[in-house]
Amino acid sequence: MTRSSLADTEFVVHSIAQTAVDNEREFGDLDAVVGDGDFGFSLARGFEIVLADWPDFDRSSPADFLKKTALVISGRIGGTSGPLWGTAFLRASAAVAGKADLDGDDVVAMLRAAAEGIKARGKSDLGDKTLLDALVPATDAFEAELRAGSDGLAALARAAVVARERADATSFLQARRGRASYTGERSIGSPDPGAVAVAVILERLSREWAARDDL
């Protein structure tokens, strides 16, 4: 069976949304170590709306679908998470505007655009102990696998491994952005919840993608 890029986009967004909902407590507990503990709650509530509004999303193209996702997230996720995650989806949408069929290069472009959007919106970069510390290396790994001739599934699996490694490594960093930055050196010793979320999302997506019955 030949899948459309829109179907792939829907699959990915649905997996992300369900992962956020299912891991609300884990993400919240991580955030509570040095933050205000609302990360898991905020992310779950926003993506619950995404799932609830799912039938009404614009499916004209992958870009339109991602744009609708971005608008829901921006409007319904509280704290700093809403603007950051909403911006990520919006920038990803813009990266593939006007395209009906997406390939590996488009996926890389979307991930790069999402990361740049997060950097700009959060005034953050690698090493600041944010989700970027997992997202950017995972994107690098995904692209490197594609360039080496691996298929999308293998590239995704490698990205998930790298995301987990880098998320765990944020335990050794001092937070320089967000509420955790207020705790100074006390932020060292626990992983960044956003980075962990990226790892968990990619790990689940990798498993679910491999198990798809329409491959």
What are the sequence ranges of the domains in the chain?
Answer: 5-210
Distance CA 43, CA 182 (A): 22
| The pLDDT of residue 214 | 57
Burial class (CB in 10 A: 0-12, 13-18, 19+), 140: middle
| The pLDDT of residue 179 | 61
Q: Does domain 5-210 have CATH number 1.25.40.340?
A: yes
| The pLDDT of residue 123 | 92
Distance CA 137, CA 165 (A): 10
Distances from the Cα of 40 to the Cα of 79, 116, 126, angstroms: 11, 23, 22
| The pLDDT of residue 57 | 95
| The pLDDT of residue 178 | 66
Helices and strands, counts by H and E, the chain: 9, 0
pLDDT below 70 — which residues of the chain? Answer: 1-3, 78, 177-187, 213-215
